[in-house]
Amino acid sequence: MNEEILISGRMNPHIDPTLGIWGWEIPLYLFLGGLAAGILFFASLYTLLGREKELPTAVRKATFLVPIILIVGLGALFLDLKNKLYFWQLYTTIRIESPMSWGAWILMLITPLSMAWCLSYWRDLAPGWKYKLEWLEYIEKLVNKYRKPMAWILIVSSVILGIYTGILLSAFNARPLWNTSILGPLFLVSGLSTGAATIMWLSKEQLERSLFSKIDLLLIGIEVFFIIHLFMGFMASNAAQIEAAGLFLGGAYTLPFWIGVVVLGLIVPAILEIMELRGRKIPVAIPALLILFGGLIFRFIMVDAGQISSYLY
């Protein structure tokens, strides 16, 4: 025995024996937030580039999912709160230093905006629709008129939303596994990639599918680069971060991370997409689902493993 630590008299729920204050709610939300950010980013990007006609799924169809995704995500966040009835306290202050405050406010902006965006394309789905409420019609007209400025707001706020899902974790300097600035860009790229996969999956147009297949390939490449970068950073850092990286390099999370996230969530879908672009017939749902599943378990693994990693005992 070289060193042993015994704690007497402390058995606080969710803290001991290992920290577990965040359960399934936060990783699920981080995934959904990234996915919503991804879809909105491409919708506003291609609106600003004036390609609405060519890419109907990216600009219109897929965005109908966003309010649902965001509401489920917000529901998960709400469930995570231990003092649920006090949730409105988030909106009584703006705390620049707290990423969670940023997140709360950006969600407050992006959720109604995404709903308004869908409202403006509602007639595509139901051409003969008559609104019972006049103000809904008014919003629809307003959005149709100011779509470009709205796309500008959405493109900026979707990038903030995507990055924030990573920065939320990296702001915790007490958890060595999270305390790396690469997590923001990594979560953003992963969110964009899940968004692109969803658009690719929903699309019926050949042009759109192959475009988003290529975008996805590029994003997967960047993601792999960031993951290598993440571990390079850990290995060149202090003892606590080397130990945290050890959770993925021989430790408890080695198999789920390298097989689940890297191989099944990134490499296999990339190979399938390359094969499809070369003319093989591959059902598009397979790579899309693999990417989405990889993105989901990536967040679960990061949140779980991060809570185990620490500076003290």
Partner 1 sequence: MRYAMVIDTKKCVGCSDCVVACQNENRVPIGYCRDWVIEHAKGAFPNVSIELRSERCNHCENSPCVRCCPTGASHYEEGGLVMVDRGACIGCGACVQSCPYNARFSHPEGYVDKCSFCNHRLKEGKSPSCVSVCPTNCMYFGDLNDSESQVSQLLKNRDWKVLAPEVGTKPQVYYLI
Q: Which residues bind partner 1 (CB under 8 A)?
A: 1-16, 19, 21-22, 80-84, 86-87, 89-90, 92-93, 95, 97-101, 103-104, 171-175, 238, 240, 307, 310-313
Question: Least Å distance between CB 97 and partner 1?
Answer: 5
For residue 17, say if its preceding peptide bond is cis, omega within 30 degrees of 0.
yes
DSSP-derived secondary structure letter, 111: H
Question: Least Å distance between CB 14 and partner 1?
Answer: 6
214: which 2 tokens?
């290529």
107: which 2 tokens?
């969600």
Q: Which is nearer to partner 1, 173 or 206 (CB)?
A: 173
Question: Least Å distance between CB 304 and partner 1?
Answer: 12
Question: Least Å distance between CB 306 and partner 1?
Answer: 8
Question: Least Å distance between CB 108 and partner 1?
Answer: 12
Question: Least Å distance between CB 177 and partner 1?
Answer: 11
Q: Which is nearer to partner 1, 144 or 238 (CB)?
A: 238
How far does Cα 209 stand from its chain's mean position?
A: 21
Task: Give the number of residues written for the chain.
Answer: 313
Q: Give dist(CA 19, CA 188) in Å, integer.
A: 26
Q: Give dist(CA 281, CA 50) in Å, integer.
A: 31
Q: Give dist(CA 245, CA 70) in Å, integer.
A: 31
DSSP-derived secondary structure letter, 160: H
Q: Where do we find the tokens 């490499």?
A: 267
What is the per-residue DSSP string for 258-277? Answer: IIIIIIIIIIHHHHHHHHHH
- Do the beta carbons of residue 231 and residue 248 sit within 8 Å? yes
